[in-house]
């Protein structure tokens, strides 16, 4: 991860949240925070418990919706319509 861009707690929390979302591609994280897929993986490894990281990696590896180039045309939104209700994240949705 780039050392010149220090992320604050709110930004780290949002990146983790976006990484867990099925419909949020890595390119959206790159656009918003400047972190590529490998940097997101490094951040997740550093910030999460080992078991949580392993579960996340198994979940996103090969998932078509996390990579814009692999997405089907009918996937046009980044998050689930129920997301606001089911989140347990510390940061409230904006």
Instruction: Catalogue the E-assigned strands of the chain.
Output: none
Q: Is residue 31 part of a domain?
A: yes
Q: Is residue 89 part of a domain?
A: no
Q: Is residue 80 part of a domain?
A: no
58 pLDDT higher than 70: yes
User: Quick one: the chain helix, strand, coil %, rounded to 5?
Assistant: 55, 0, 45
26 pLDDT higher than 80: yes
**From CA 57, how far away is CA 52, in angstroms rounded?**
9
Q: Is residue 81 part of a domain?
A: no
Q: Is residue 91 part of a domain?
A: no
* Higher per-residue confidence, 22 vs 68: 22
Q: Are 43 and 15 in contact (CB under 8 A)?
A: yes
- Summarised one tens digit per residue, pLDDT across range 30-53 is 999 999 999 999 999 999 999 999
Enclosing domain of residue 59: 9-71
What pLDDT shows up at residue 22?
Answer: 80
Q: Confidence band (pLDDT; 50, 70, 90) for 61?
A: confident
Q: Confidence band (pLDDT; 50, 70, 90) for 66?
A: low
Q: Is residue 82 part of a domain?
A: no
Burial class (CB in 10 A: 0-12, 13-18, 19+), 29: buried
């Amino acid at each position: 991860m780039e050392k010149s861009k220090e992320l604050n707690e709110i930004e780290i929390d949002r990146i983790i949240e976006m990484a867990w979302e099925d419909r949020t591609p890595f390119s959206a994280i790159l656009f918003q925070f400047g972190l590529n897929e490998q940097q997101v993986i490094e951040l997740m490894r550093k910030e999460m418990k080992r078991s949580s990281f392993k579960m996340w990696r198994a979940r996103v590896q090969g998932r078509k919706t996390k990579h814009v180039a692999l997405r089907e045309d009918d996937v046009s939104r980044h998050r689930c319509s129920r997301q606001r209700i089911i989140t347990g994240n510390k940061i409230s949705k904006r």
